[in-house]
Structure 1
């Protein structure tokens, strides 16, 4: 058997050097982005907002409406669309046409209190910077591909302070299996560790605030808990499918206003503000609200929990369909966690760590292309011990398999997309010197 020697060529170490540098740069720009967003949030939302229904003030409506107006103006004056970061990684390149507008709109969207997370815009920013530098330097396609992934990996590893979870994402995304790719994974690993180091050091040697966000009691694992994990995964499919369907419906309703972004975005800002006045829990990405719900899980009514989850889905889909830029993962973690508390209230014999962990993982994992990676991050957020992780992973993979594998699959579109990705991967393979995989 021929030994794997992907690190014995000069070309590999050039790629390694560029990839680690891009991981570092990606983490730095992502950290600056987060600081800017948090700073603007502090200026706009200096008072704490209660999650009690109808506790919101008119200030909420004013801020969200004005933020919607600004997002609409950004759409009007420059190309602005959310970039598919994971599709770009698979393709090995990122179209930068809409990147600048997307970043500017995302800053306003997140600071304005809309139910969106920072994962998508930080990925766009870091990946865009990596691709821009690579093309300015005239680097080969293989290095551009690695730099794109490395810069995003550095940003995400820092954002979640979970570097080795990001390495797992490299195995889940579409790739060509070869010794050469293991070399790429080593580059991604170093880039992720560097990204973690940047956020950890700049944050005062502290892990991300979302890690161990929830205080949940561990439990003794039983074999029947695995079956419960499957059932919870199936329940999560209902909410994830509702998200996908509502997103499609709202996109169709918004289509006539495509050429009038200022009217569209301002109107959505007004609607989100009114919703926020009635149900303040629907504002922002949802991590702090989820921590409050989990801590007081015995005090919240079942109807309030389920209504909060449904309205959070409405808030996320409305802003995404309307052209606001941000990620849906954090709000969907809120949806899953809140439904998990509701299930625990209905069946108090189930461990609350299991119901919350399973639903938090399964709802977003049903929709993303990296379910195992996200499930691992959920384990870190909930502080789930390794011995209690099996039901969570089971629920996440069940939901992903059912929804992405069967319900929402489009064989024709998927087949064409995979052909496009395969062609891009083949171009990369053609650029690899024989000695790089000798």
Structure 2
């Protein structure tokens, strides 16, 4: 007996979304296992950090030879969602996995989200081409790949679902990809956990009633988060352009970046800013003696690592920066330390990635429901205050954050200044 026509899309998405979830979950599990092993090895053999310039040279040579089609990273993924003719090479999954693990092994300050999203998306595109789906279905599968990778690598399937929809167009979500994204994220998370991967357990802050004075403190908090997020975004883009201008060869660029990172590590005299920095994130929830400059130093280490061309994501370093900044602001504003760190952790990435809804949900999945009103308020304010910029220049926008008429088309953030000038000229 054939299923009714209305059931066919549902069954299709259960199958295709589930398949994307399975491959994303397996990839994330392998990645997290190798990442844990690499981190432990570096912590027990700190001398490995001195070889970061050599690792940069080798990785640069490999990427310069075989990695040019995938060098766009997350921006390539977002472009592919919008431009049906841009196929994501399958080689992206293994290359970004190995490159990120090696970056962590030798001390680079990067995260996990970029790698997981790129693996999930490249594997989803392989599924789309294997089953010869149409262009619209392929785009929805790519969103599912983003969701499956993000949800499985952090153990936050609902946030992963929303992130896969929210990140591609600022201020607008396409619900046509909701079901495959949800299926991929939930299945991916189940597969990763089923393969024995345990995610970081964060402290759950106690409930904090909203009051008028507290809202005033959250406004100050949001301004600080927006300023730091803006600094991070602008520094990454500015330094990338500088590296490409003055050191155009990728292997030399990564070697020079590795030398600067080793020098900075030697100068600060601590390993706390290398790799993910999860122990310091957890420390930010409880330690009133956390160095006040910790957020700024992690920002500098991460900007240097990413701008020089090393592989990895931005989420966990931004969690570190946000939690450490939240620790400082909580002390200054008289907020509970754990709530300040929790709100800073989520709001920093929300502002830098233009994804306030996904990060509000993620905060609940990671930190408990007591954080929701506070994270949502600060994330929304910081998202608006950062303006039209973000860590993903390929994100599209249809209407400016402050309102006004629709733009003539979905405009990538990197083209927004020229597009808005054209719109203004046309109105005159």
TM-score bracket for this pair, using the shorter chain length = 0.7 to 0.9
Q: Where does residue 329 of structure 2 map in the other structure?
A: 343
Q: Matches of residues 24-423 of structure 1 in structure 2 within 5 Å? A: 24-46=22-44, 59=47, 61-80=49-68, 81-83=71-73, 84=75, 85-91=77-83, 95-97=87-89, 99=92, 101-174=95-168, 182=175, 184-203=177-196, 206=198, 208-209=199-200, 212-214=201-203, 216-277=205-266, 278=268, 279-295=270-286, 297-300=287-290, 304-306=291-293, 308-347=294-333, 349-381=334-366, 383-386=367-370, 388-405=371-388, 415=407, 418=410
| Shift, 1:359, TM fit | 2.0
Q: Deviations over 1:1-41 (max 9, x none)?
A: xxxxx970535533442222112212112211222232333
Q: TM-score, normalised by structure 2?
A: 0.80
User: CA 1:116 to 1:417, structure 2 compared with 1: closer, same or farther past 3 Å?
Assistant: farther
SS where residue 275 of structure 2 aligns? Answer: coil
SS where residue 404 of structure 1 aligns? Answer: coil
Q: TM-score, normalised by structure 1?
A: 0.79
Q: Deviations over 1:259-286 (max 9, x none)?
A: 4222211121122122223242221122
Q: What CA RMSD, in Å, does the superposition of the two structures yield over aligned residues?
A: 3.3
5+ residue gaps, structure 1, are 1-5, 48-56, 422-438
Q: Is the 8 A contact 2:28 2:149 kept in 1?
A: yes
Q: Is the 8 A contact 1:15 1:143 kept in 2?
A: no
Q: Where does residue 430 of structure 1 map in the other structure?
A: none
Greater shift, 21-30 or 252-261, is seen at: 252-261
| Shift, 1:376, TM fit | 2.3
Write the distance in 2 (CA, Å) between the matches of 1:406 and 1:77.
31
| Shift, 1:401, TM fit | 0.9
Write the distance in 2 (CA, Å) between the matches of 1:107 and 1:258.
24
Write the distance in 2 (CA, Å) between the matches of 1:262 and 1:176.
34
User: CA 1:337 to 1:146, structure 2 compared with 1: closer, same or farther past 3 Å?
Assistant: same
Write the distance in 1 (CA, Å) between the matches of 2:412 and 2:358.
24
5+ residue gaps, structure 2, are 398-406, 414-428
Write the distance in 2 (CA, Å) between the matches of 1:159 and 1:370.
17
Q: Deviations over 1:201-225 (max 9, x none)?
A: 2226x5x21xx42364543443432
Write the distance in 2 (CA, Å) between the matches of 1:200 and 1:239.
34
SS where residue 30 of structure 1 aligns? Answer: helix
| Shift, 1:229, TM fit | 1.7
Q: Is the 8 A contact 2:144 2:180 kept in 1?
A: yes
Structure with the larger RCO, 1 or 2 (CA within 8 Å, 6+ apart):
1
